[in-house]
Amino acid sequence: MELSPKTKIDDLLSSYPFLLEFFLGKSPKFKLLQSAFSRKTIGKVATLAQVASIGGLNLDQFLLDIAAEIREKTGEAVAPEDRKARQEILKGIIMDLHNGEDMEILKQRFHDLVKDIAPSEIAAMEQGLIEEGMPESEIKRLCDVHVKVFQESLESQAAPRTPPGHPVHTFMLENRAAAEITREIGQILDKPGDLGEEEFFRLHRGELEQLMERLADIDLHYLRKENQLFPLLEEYEITGPSQVMWALHDDIRDAIKTARSELATSRGHEALNTIKYAIKSIDDMIYKEENILFPMAMETLTDADWQKVGQGENEIGYAWIVAEQGGAAEETVSPVLKKSAQGSVTLDLATGQLTPEQVNLILTHLPVEISFVDENDELRYYSQVKHKIFPRSPGVIGRKVQNCHPPASLDKVQRILDEFRSGRKDIADFWIEKKDRFIYIRYFAVRDDNQTYRGTLEVAQDATALRGLTGQQRLLDWE
């Protein structure tokens, strides 16, 4: 039988029952396989890639070990699929595509040499190209063309099926809502153009403004991917999707923002072109999510991982839908923290003592948002204020700060960290306008008493009201 990452565990155990003991010896997490019910339910859908992930095993070595066990017990030579060789073939096809080779020739080469492809292999291939020096911007530029090469194989595979409340189920509900909005916009743009562009724009401008305002909520969909899903994939060293997709998210955000501005200022020709680009980009992203990202994530992440993805999604919010409950465990407070919150533990600080509860209350009542990145560039804390300037959720805790920023700003972030770490700089100030608010952002190098760099503190403040202050209001004037 075939031995590959996509092999179902029930199929394998049905053919080679003795492998049950082999699995149990590989990881205590495989005890679930002792249940015949589990083998006939979970085992029907669980792949060897998922099983390896659950057990914390290297997939390639896991496949080799299974093949060796089968050979020892039966004498049968079952060769595991050579994933490394497939990766080299895939990378060669894509490199030729970037060098201008005809797509139809490359499609045929793919069909002749590989025939089918797992979504995780596309992600691994693109990540491999980035690691070998291909710029992320070049991957992004032609990622739609990459998909076209593999499209027939991808569409032959079943779409992910998940229960209500599962993060993927929620993402796909949002995709249906997004697709409906882009369909409505497309119908307007496809109306007969015999009126002329100016008259067409005059008649349909109001409709397009309303639809583009609704479409802007897709930002919440992308924020949950960036802050909840990508960090978990990065724990499995899958960074390609976050690097490429985040850049595409930003392109879509910019297109929606530009289109709304062009609509508001009656730049009809520019607005129509930008809207066409935006809806095509969103539709393409939906395809990439449902045919590559989500199946690959389902193949990689464990149930415990998906619970982590689900935790904190409510803090960011949802686009157009009310998320169903049931797919992710609610966040819980550990007994230690509960005990601390009751006041039985205090922290000795430089100028006093506070309980953990009081520290948390102070930090969440400051008129600023703060985040702390440690000396290893890992995000360790952000303040859970009521009115957030920048959306954050628990999925980012422990994540490298470089992965918490869009690829376009990565070099600036790294430069600040390098300057702070070297001692050349201690402060970096920035200010931006965001939805009619004036946001003041400051970064501070954190050093201990020996002047050793211990991390970076980010402070963000809505300074809109402060910017307009004049004169004075003294304490005695307060009412």
Burial class (CB in 10 A: 0-12, 13-18, 19+), 245: buried
Tell me what pLDDT residue 37 has. 76
Domain ranges of the chain: 9-74, 83-152, 167-316, 366-467
pLDDT level of residue 286 (50, 70, 90 thresholds)? very high
Has residue 258 got a pLDDT over 90?
yes
Q: Find, among 393, 466, 58, 472, the residue nearest to 227 by Cα.
A: 393
Q: What percent of the chain has pLDDT over 90?
A: 38
pLDDT level of residue 193 (50, 70, 90 thresholds)? low
Mean pLDDT in residue range 427-433 = 94
Give φ, ψ of 462 to 5 degrees: -80, 105
* Per-chain mean pLDDT for the chain: 86
Distance of CA 151 to the CA centre of its chain: 22
Tell me what pLDDT residue 213 has. 95
Q: Does the structural domain 366-467 have CATH classification 3.30.450.20? A: yes
Q: What percent of the chain has pLDDT over 70?
A: 94
Has residue 38 got a pLDDT over 80?
no
Provide the 10 A C-beta neighbour count for residue 202: 13
Tell me what pLDDT residue 327 has. 45
The CA angle 389-280-290, to the nearest 5 degrees, is: 80
Tell me what pLDDT residue 126 has. 85
| Amino acid at site 210 | Q
Q: 167-316 has which CATH code?
A: 1.20.120.520
- pLDDT tens per residue across span 135-186: 888 888 888 888 888 888 887 777 777 888 899 999 999 999 999 999 999 9
Q: Which residues contact 152 (CB under 8 A, 6 or more apart)?
A: 107, 111
Mean pLDDT in residue range 411-425 = 94
Tell me what pLDDT residue 280 has. 95
Of 198-202, 326-330, 413-417, the one with minimum mean pLDDT is: 326-330
Residue 306 C-beta-side C-alpha neighbours within 13 Å: 24
